[in-house]
Structure 1
Amino acid sequence: MSRRRRVGIAGAIVGAASAGVATAALAKRYAVGRIRLRPDPAANEPFGELRGREVAVTTSDGVRLHVELDGPEDAPLTVVFCHGYTLNLDSWHYQRRDLRETHRLLLFDQRCHGRSQREGVADRTIERLGEDLYDVLNAQVPGPCVLVGHSMGGMTIMALAERHPELFGDRIQGVALIATSAGKLAEITLGLPALVAKAVHFVAPQAVAVLGRRAALVDRGRQFGSDVSFLAMRLLGFGDSRNVSPTLVDFVDTMIRSTPTDVIADFYPALMSHDALGALDVLDKVPTSIIVGEKDWITPPDHSRAIAEVVPSARLEVVPNTSHLVQLERPEVVNEELRDLIKRAQGEKR
């Protein structure tokens, strides 16, 4: 074959590949464009703009946590919100919006997330998050409280229960665990066939570690939003992806992209090794609500059911056609359950 012909064939292959990539990009952009043109009931929702009285809490190991207090200061009970992995306190937008007029709320950014300290933070474990919550309660919650945790925030509450069980039934009078797990996250299938899921779990720790070592480079690329991240968040974060608000999807995507890659990498092993099922019987001392989306592939409903078996007095709510971000996707369901939990906490002295 002549050199000219080989070059011609190579050029044709490259041209075809480039055309394919370009076509895919145009199709993707067209799909996102069509989604954004649909009616968006949350288009004017002030995501990330709700603010309260800002204070700083320094933990027992010297880390500064960003804390916000909202609602009436003289309320008899404080509702404390613990957010999830890669998120921040703004992920409780709808709960804050609907409860702030009638309840004293405390929201905080977990260490290395949001506006809390990142630099020089060595301890990035679930056990340490439990101690952080203990420090926050001692600093800013003078009376009884209800704890609400989503995903990693639920694990934070479990770590507190393991280390400070004496608080439950005394200062802590109610608990809500939302889309969380007491352990064995490394065994979930992610909706994949068993062999594929096993391979993913085998490769993921090494892949995450590599990303962590190249965090600065990765973060530079993550700062720019993309159609790919929008579509992925829409599909994976929400159960009813066809009808979810594009504004809400952008809001969550921005939160996640603002969490540095090294933070994501450092907390990942702690999440995978988390095992607190044996410590949860203490939650039977207080009214407990367990809420999970029916289509949650990150912390599947079976993980919530496992918690409910250990805490037989707990109320389990599986929300239909909803995924991991249930507090944002179906806030009316979550808020109704929280209001009921608060009433039970104030009315039941065990």
Structure 2
Amino acid sequence: MTSPADRPAASDGAVLHHRLEGSAAAPPLLLGPSLGTSTALWDRVAPELSVSHRVVRWDLPGHGGSPAGLIGPGATVADLAALVLALADSLGIGRFSYAGVSLGGAVGLHLAVHHPERVEKLAVICSSAHFNGSKPWEERAALVRREGVAQLVGSAAARWFTPGFTVERLIEDQRTVDPEAYAACCDALAAFDLRGQLPRIAAPTLAVAGREDPATPPAHLREIADAVPGAALAEVPGASHLAPAERPEAVLTALRAHFDGGTRRGMEVRRQVLGDAHVDAAQARQSAFTARFQDFISRYAWGEIWTDETLGRRERSMITMTALVAHGHYDELAMHVRAARRNGLTPEEIGAVLLQTAVYCGVPAANSAFAVAQRVLAEERPGL
């Protein structure tokens, strides 16, 4: 796996500044930023996504490391999408999955509508198919061309985050953005309205809304999800406009489920075997520290092993209980006794499995296992 690295733009200014993470052999996933930010917007999400994807983060013109001259006055989202395709071409990437925030999400929508052969899957985060008409963006573009971006820096935290939360690295992005390029991006937002073309999107699509987002509130993402055939909608509580920075764990979970088929199938099987309550509790406890391990469980254990049809779920439950007894994992045993009941084993069959463990794992181990199983089975049959 390659380590994260900045890739400088081509000397002729034809390629957006970008960062590559993950194996070159992994399926490509492009990550687009919001207006006023850089690749840093994805700092707490991209490294984890790179476990299973070749992640390409890119900067808007005049933002981060991208040259300002890549766009000019009157720019459109189509112009930005063309730059993204040129970047993908320069990296030898044909078809890719894509996730983008705000303006980056608009670029993704344009690509999915006008270049469907390039977009495998799409996630649109805190974005819209329109951005509340052209006038506010025309006025902002004029302000920035006249006075620079200084006035925007002071209001950035309020526009991007919930009260009391901020990311100084992203505020610095707003402070250092090129005013002319920023204004050109405002021109692109002013002219953007893709509502009538959303039904043309064929790529599997996820819309992610920040529940506290005043710029692109959940209704805007719901509009996308309702119009794109088969699209899904996820709302992130406690998140404003830059959800990947403010609530990275929740955004990461949603993106993994959408982009990683093994994880999604694994999560389905995990819920079927262990129950929604258990899985929901495990997801609620997930943090940035444990997210990778949770993904491993869903993708490998549940998405590959438990979905192998060589053995049925009844047999897998019996094997799993035996292994847990052998290693003394009694807390885990309780969970899998419940799973065994969901997989069709009777209390008598569970007892027979544990009796078998007395022969091959030892009587003390089986004694502890019977105590655990009796407690669990008593939940459904009091007095057992």
| TM-score, normalised by the number of residues in structure 2 | 0.61
2:16 paired residue number:
65
Q: How many pairs are equivalent?
A: 262
Selected match of 2:142 from 201, 206, 209: 209
> What's the secondary structure of 1:84's corresponding residue?
coil
Is 1:94–2:40 an aligned residue pair?
no
Structure 1 pair 107/308, CA: closer, same or farther in 2 (3 Å)? same
Q: 1:327 aligns with which of 237, 244, 247?
A: 244
Q: Contact 1:130–1:158 (CA<8 Å) still a contact in 2?
A: no
Paired residue secondary structure (1:64):
coil
**Would you say the 8 A contact 1:68–1:107 is kept in 2?**
yes
5+ long unaligned stretches in structure 2: 266-384
Match for 1:142: what amino acid?
I
Aligned-partner residue type, residue 77 of structure 2? I
User: Which has the larger Rg?
Assistant: 2
Choose the corresponding residue for 1:276, options 170, 194, 197: 194
Q: For 1:44-193, what aligned pairs fall within 5 Å after superposition?
A: 51-52=4-5, 54-56=7-9, 63-75=14-26, 77-119=27-69, 121-122=71-72, 124-142=75-93, 144-165=95-116, 167=117, 171-186=118-133
> Sequence identity of aligned pairs in percent?
27
Q: 1:64 offset after TM fit, Å?
A: 3.5
Aligned match of 2:213: 296
* CA RMSD of superposed structures (Å): 2.9
What corresponds to 1:251 in structure 2? 169
CA contact (8 A) 1:129 1:159 kept: no
Q: CA deviation at 1:207?
A: 5.8
Q: Provide the C-alpha distance between the structure 2 equivalents of 1:78 and 1:120, rounded to a whole number of angstroms.
A: 24
Q: CA deviation at 1:288?
A: 1.3
State the Cα deviation string for residues 225-271 of structure 1 (Å, max 9, x = none).
8xxx2xx44433223x23x3xxx431221111111222232322321
Separation in structure 2 between the aligned mates of residue 312 and residue 331 of structure 1, nearest angstrom = 27
Give the letter aligned to residue 328 of structure 1. A
Contact 2:44 2:244 in 1 (8 A): yes
Structure 1: where are the runs of 5+ without partners? 1-49, 188-200
Q: Is the CA contact 2:140–2:183 (under 8 Å) kept in the aligned structure 1?
A: no
Choose between structure 1 and 2 for higher RCO, CA contacts under 8 A separated by at least 6 residues. Answer: 1
Alpha-carbon distance in 2 for matches of 1:208, 1:53: 29
**How far 1:58 moved relative to its partner?**
8.1
Structure-2 residue corresponding to 1:261? 179
Counterparts of 2:178 and 2:261 in 1: how far apart (Å)? 39
Structure-2 separation of matches of 1:94 and 1:296: 19
**Structure 1 counterpart of 2:231, which letter?**
A
What amino acid is aligned across from residue 82 of structure 2 in structure 1?
A: E
Q: Normalization by structure 1: what TM-score? A: 0.67
Corresponding residue SS for 1:52: strand
Whole-Å Cα distance in 2 between the matches of residues 107 and 261 of structure 1?
22
Q: Distance in 2 between matches of 1:337 and 1:91?
A: 17
Structure 1 residue 143, shift from structure 2 partner: 5.0
Distance 1:88 1:295, change over 3 A: same
Q: What SS does structure 2 have at the residue aligned with 1:87?
A: coil
Asked if the contact 1:112–1:263 (Cα under 8 Å) also holds between the matched residues in 2, the reply is yes
Shift of residue 299, structure 1, vs aligned partner: 1.0
Q: Deviations over 1:134-166 (max 9, x none)?
A: 21222224354210111000111122233323x
Output the amino acid matched with 1:205: E
Q: Return the letter of the residue paired with 1:211.
A: V
**Aligned pair in 2 of structure 1 residues 148, 207: CA closer, same or farther (>3 Å)?**
closer
> Given that residues 78 and 141 in structure 1 are in contact (C-alpha distance below 8 angstroms), is that contact kept between their aligned partners in structure 2?
no
1:175 aligns to what SS in structure 2?
Answer: strand
Between stretches 136-145 and 123-132, larger displacement belongs to 136-145
Instruction: Give CA-to-partner distance per residue, 1:168-223, whole Å, 9 cap, x none.
Output: xxx42211000001015228xxxxxxxxxxxxx57x734641430343xx66x88x
